[in-house]
């Protein structure tokens, strides 16, 4: 038996992680078979797929009206092709198949997607948005443009910043400044840093003392390590004034915000200090009778910032750009193909007639051959294949 199929503009790419030959609940290679969408921003994430035996089995099931996923159908007791799979094959003349690529944007319209990805286009911010273009916006965001020592002085001084930063309040400029802050070195209190320097040297010293008769190069290396330890400690000690300010700020924050931890394993992230400084500035602006209602949401959080971090561009701008926007990914090369193929079933004429009758009764006029595009049966020959 032969089933002749013509297809036009079928998609030959995979857009989901996992395997289409496994149930979602299964664990191939020890992992769940999760069928979520791949990130199209990475060129290697959308892979090319040829027509396979599984494709053919899926088509045959569809033609007789079985719309279950192939892996579900094959594990059931009433899978029609259970005893026929070894008798099924297909053939296609690649020289007569037209294949091409198109640059496309893949849009995921899934209802469960509540927010677009971090770096997608979010819309246009209104020119009268008070958060960026009001008289007091310059005062609020001026905190982000302080250098780290100025920031510490600001927190300690208990005074409002009245600096005018001009057009630096524009969203693009603020995002650029936030990226700069994210690149700042992590702050470590002097005593903790000195302790780490000493610990690193003690390990080298212990290894050196374990040598029964050290060679000249090993002796020189150890002496250099000792000198470097002393130099590093001297350099760290030069930051004592800065460290005193940093410790004062941590003391202030621990009292003012006891539920927030800013000294985590002797590491202090600069962005955390800038984020909380914004909240401090809003509080001081309020005490100076400035209107700051539009700076905070209903839960008194500054748009896009928690008391410990910047929450990302999406949370910062999305609501101000009209809420949820259509998410459009990076363009990628989609492979399409048109041509013909023949499904061959090495079965008896009686079985072939029965299968043809089932196909006719199901009345499937067109179907996908893999992803999208159009495919349909042009002819069915029930005679036995020789």
CB 336 within 8 A of CB 102: yes
pLDDT number for residue 359: 94
**Residue whose structure tokens are 């051959």:** 369
Q: How far is CA 230 from the centre of its chain?
A: 44
CB 272 within 8 A of CB 262: yes
How would DSSP label each residue in 41-80?
TSGGGSEE----HHHHHHHHHHHTT--S-HHHHHTSTT-T
pLDDT number for residue 325: 47
Question: Pick from 284, 242, 16, 23: which is nearest to 143 by CA?
Answer: 284
pLDDT number for residue 306: 87
Measured distance CA(245)–CA(155) in Å, rounded: 10
User: Strand pairing of 47-48 and 13-14?
Assistant: antiparallel
Distances (CA, A) of 188 to 150, 154, 175, 276, 319: 18, 20, 26, 18, 36
**Residue whose structure tokens are 């199929």:** 5
Mean pLDDT, 10 residues at a time, the chain of 386 residues? 93 73 57 61 63 91 90 88 93 86 68 49 67 85 94 93 88 90 87 86 88 88 90 86 90 88 77 93 88 64 85 72 52 84 93 94 86 88 76
pLDDT number for residue 150: 95
Secondary structure of 180-195 in HEC code, one letter for each residue: HHHCCCCECCHHHHHH
Measured distance CA(351)–CA(158) in Å, rounded: 88
Kind and range of the H or E element at 149? helix 148-157
pLDDT number for residue 113: 45
Measured distance CA(333)–CA(373) in Å, rounded: 16
Measured distance CA(214)–CA(208) in Å, rounded: 8
pLDDT number for residue 68: 87
- Give the sign of the dihedral formed by CA 256, CA 261, CA 263, CA 267: negative
Report helix, strand and coil shares of the chain as percent, to nearest 5: 45, 15, 40
Q: Give 21's contacts (C-beta < 8 A, 6+ positions apart).
A: 54, 70, 71
How many helices (H) and strands (E) are present in the chain, helices listed first?
Answer: 12, 7
């Amino acid at each position: 038996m032969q089933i002749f199929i013509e297809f036009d503009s079928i998609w030959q790419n995979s857009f989901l992680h996992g395997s289409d030959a496994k149930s979602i609940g299964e664990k191939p290679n020890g992992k769940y078979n999760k069928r979520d969408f791949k990130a199209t921003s990475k060129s290697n994430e959308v892979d090319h797929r040829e027509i396979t035996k599984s494709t053919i089995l899926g088509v045959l099931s569809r033609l007789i009206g079985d719309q279950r996923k192939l892996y579900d159908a094959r594990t059931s007791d009433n899978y029609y092709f259970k005893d026929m799979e070894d008798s099924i094959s297909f053939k296609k003349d690649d020289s007569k198949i037209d294949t091409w690529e198109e640059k496309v944007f893949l849009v995921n319209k899934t209802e469960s997607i509540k927010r677009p990805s971090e770096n997608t286009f979010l819309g246009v911010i209104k020119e009268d948005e008070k958060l960026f273009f009001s008289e007091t916006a310059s005062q609020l965001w001026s905190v982000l443009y302080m250098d780290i020592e100025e920031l510490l002085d600001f927190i300690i001084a208990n005074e409002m910043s009245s600096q005018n930063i001009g057009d630096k309040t524009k969203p693009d400029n603020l995002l650029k400044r936030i990226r700069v802050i994210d690149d700042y070195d992590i702050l470590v209190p002097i005593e903790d840093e000195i302790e780490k320097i000493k610990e690193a040297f003690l390990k080298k010293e212990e290894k050196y003392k374990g040598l029964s008769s050290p060679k000249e190069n090993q002796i020189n290396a150890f002496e250099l390590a000792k000198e470097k330890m002393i130099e590093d400690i001297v350099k760290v000690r030069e930051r004592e004034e800065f460290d005193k300010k940093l410790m004062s700020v941590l003391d202030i924050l621990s009292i003012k915000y006891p539920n927030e931890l800013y000294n985590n394993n002797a590491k202090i992230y600069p962005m955390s200090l800038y984020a909380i400084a914004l909240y401090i500035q809003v509080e001081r602006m309020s005490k100076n009778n400035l209107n700051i209602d539009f700076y905070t949401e209903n839960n008194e959080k500054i748009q896009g910032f928690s008391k410990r971090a910047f929450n990302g561009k999406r949370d910062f701008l999305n609501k101000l750009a009209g809420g949820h926007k259509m998410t459009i990914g990076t363009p990628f090369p989609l492979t399409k193909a048109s041509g013909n193929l023949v499904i061959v079933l090495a079965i008896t004429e009686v079985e072939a007639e029965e299968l043809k009758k089932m196909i006719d009764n199901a009345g499937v006029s067109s179907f996908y051959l893999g992803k999208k595009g159009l495919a349909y049966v042009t002819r069915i020959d029930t005679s036995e294949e020789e």
